[in-house]
Amino acid sequence: MISLTAITAFLTTIIALFFNSISKAWTDLKDETKEVYATNVQTFIEEVRKDFTDKLTKRRMKEPDDFEGNPDDVRAWCRRMTLFFQSNDISKEWKRIEMALGKIKGEKDNQAQRWADTQIRKFLPFQKE
């Protein structure tokens, strides 16, 4: 995928070449016409930037369903949560734990709750139960 920066650089180069190649014609234009052309180019660049930004934003993965406490589902649910974290650039462990705990809805002694407790203990080694 081509990055937004690369596309912006490409468009900027094309625009610069365009203006360099028609510099005499540009010089002969009235100020009002120059302003209209400059505004049109600026509007076009902003539309391209917005289009690519919208597409990148839409690629975010939706949150997985809540975990209901079935031990047979815990591994698949953890994989979905991991994929969600990666695809949404959630890298801070505390944020991951907070979100995962909010998605656990089962009994207190199920595998997901034990997994979450283990993750919390990694960050709170000084606290004894």
pLDDT tens track of the chain, all 129 residues?
A: 678 888 888 888 888 887 677 776 767 778 888 888 888 889 988 888 887 776 666 567 888 898 887 778 888 988 999 999 988 888 888 888 888 888 887 665 666 667 667 777 776 766 555
pLDDT on residue 112: 64
* Boundary (domain end) residue, out of 14, 33, 58: 58
Provide the number of structural domains found in the chain: 2
Q: What secondary structure does DSSP assign to 20-64, as a single string?
A: HHTHHHHHHS-HHHHHHHHHHHHHHHHHHHHHHHHHHHHTPPPPP
In a domain, 28, yes or no: yes
Same domain, 81 and 111: yes
What is the domain range of residue 75?
71-123
Quick one: tokens of 57? 């934003």
Strand partners, 67: 104
Q: Do both 54 and 75 map to the same domain?
A: no
CA 74 to chain centroid, in Å, comes to: 26
| Residue-level pLDDT at 38 | 85
Domain edge (last residue) among 58, 79, 94: 58
In a domain? residue 66: no
> In this structure, is residue 11 part of a structural domain?
yes
Task: Show Cβ contacts of residue 9 under 8 Å, excluding neighbours closer than 6 positions.
Answer: none
Distance CA 121, CA 128 (A): 9
Structural domain ending residue among the three candidates 19, 36, 58: 58
Q: Are residues 49 and 20 in the same domain?
A: yes
pTM assigned to the model: 0.44
Q: What is the pLDDT of residue 60?
A: 74
